[in-house]
């Protein structure tokens, strides 16, 4: 098995690729590491693919993959993880903002300190405030929800044991949460390493402000799927029963109030004149719908052929 696999997603990074390749090769040769470089062209419209082909011709350790269109970073990483053959898999961005000099340190933490995942922390950043402030808020929210004490979830420079990347699936915009996905998949030892962040040398950033909104929504989705993906009735059913119970108790209160008026031989107000009637009715309808949503979710879950697929750590056979 190779010592290290470098998985590098890219989109329109033709200018930086030769320099990045030379830098990685220099580091790996200095450390006497056997390596492979997986360059995943996510539908680039510049000369990126021609550069990758040229690098492949000069270096057999380079492997190129070209998407027909732009699917996103998560799709590129998922393909790279499936193809990686190194005992340690390291991901980095192709824009030269991640330093290949970090490769030996990241690899050492995986192999010598027993981490499943090591995430980079760009403690000193060269980004504008319009990017760093939302990033801090995003990282704070992710820490609170995931219970992982990492400072920089979105850092592209990360290292993994090979078995980790073979047992997780990355899709949509979930690349930001790979440490969270790994932890919830049964790989709890997640570490962090302060890494050098370099100013962008070529081109411009490919990400906009919408990634922070999408990132938060993805985190909610990931949290729900990890907790209730195989048991949706535990979520929807509980909320449904609670809502229906509140509605039923409201209806009982209105009924009792009506009976008190009747017993006292007083003219009772119309039930429909009481605002609680509508609150109780809506609560019962919502409760029924939530319960049915949980029931339908259970039917869908039971028909999923992968519902009983679990990660087995080891066996005595």
Per-residue pLDDT tens over the stretch 190-210: 999 998 877 666 666 655 556
pLDDT band at 225 (very low <50, low <70, confident <90, very high): low
Mean pLDDT of 58-77: 92
Mean pLDDT of 43-61: 93
Is the pLDDT confidence value at 240 over 80? yes
Whether 314 is covered by a domain: the verdict is no
Same domain, 215 and 267: no
pLDDT band at 259 (very low <50, low <70, confident <90, very high): confident
Same domain, 61 and 195: yes
Same domain, 17 and 148: yes
Same domain, 65 and 177: yes
Q: Which tokens is 137 given?
A: 């808020």
Mean pLDDT of 177-181: 87
Is the pLDDT confidence value at 299 over 90? no
pLDDT band at 185 (very low <50, low <70, confident <90, very high): confident
Same domain, 167 and 238: no
Whether 317 is covered by a domain: the verdict is no
pLDDT band at 317 (very low <50, low <70, confident <90, very high): low
Same domain, 152 and 32: yes
Range of the domain at 267: 233-302
Whether 192 is covered by a domain: the verdict is yes
Same domain, 247 and 217: no
Same domain, 190 and 124: yes
Is the pLDDT confidence value at 214 over 70? no
Mean pLDDT of 45-59: 93
Same domain, 201 and 239: no
Whether 316 is covered by a domain: the verdict is no
Whether 108 is covered by a domain: the verdict is yes
- How many domains would you assign to the chain? 2
Same domain, 282 and 144: no
Same domain, 58 and 134: yes
The per-residue pLDDT for 129 is 59
Same domain, 196 and 254: no
Of residues 67 and 171, the one with the higher pLDDT is 67
């Amino acid at each position: 098995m190779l010592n290290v696999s470098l998985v590098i997603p890219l989109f329109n990074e033709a200018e930086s690729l030769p320099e990045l390749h030379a830098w990685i090769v220099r580091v790996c040769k200095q450390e006497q590491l056997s390596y492979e470089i997986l360059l995943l062209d996510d539908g680039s419209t510049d000369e990126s693919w021609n550069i990758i082909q040229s690098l492949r011709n000069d270096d057999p350790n380079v492997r190129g993959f070209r998407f027909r269109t732009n699917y996103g970073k998560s799709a590129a990483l998922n393909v790279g993880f499936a193809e990686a053959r190194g005992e340690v898999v390291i991901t980095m961005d192709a824009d030269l903002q991640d330093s290949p000099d970090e490769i030996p340190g990241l690899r050492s933490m995986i192999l010598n300190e027993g981490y499943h995942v090591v995430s980079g922390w760009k403690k000193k950043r060269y980004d504008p405030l319009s990017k760093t402030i939302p990033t801090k808020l995003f990282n704070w929210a992710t820490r609170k929800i995931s219970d992982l004490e990492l400072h920089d979830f979105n850092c592209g420079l990360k290292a993994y044991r090979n078995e980790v990347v073979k047992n997780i699936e990355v899709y949509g915009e979930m690349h930001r949460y790979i440490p969270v996905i790994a932890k919830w998949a049964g790989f709890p030892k997640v570490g962090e390493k302060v890494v050098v962040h370099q100013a962008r040398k070529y081109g411009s950033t490919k990400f906009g402000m919408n990634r922070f909104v999408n990132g938060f929504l993805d985190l909610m989705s990931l949290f729900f799927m990890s907790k209730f993906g195989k048991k949706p009735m535990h979520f929807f059913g509980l909320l449904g029963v609670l809502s229906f119970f509140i509605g039923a108790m409201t209806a009982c209160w209105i009924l009792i109030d009506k009976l008190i008026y009747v017993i006292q031989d007083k003219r009772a107000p119309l039930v429909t004149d009481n605002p609680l009637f509508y609150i109780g009715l809506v609560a019962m309808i919502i409760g029924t719908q939530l319960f049915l949503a949980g029931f339908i979710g259970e039917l869908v879950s039971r028909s999923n052929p992968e519902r009983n697929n679990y990660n087995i750590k080891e066996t005595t056979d």
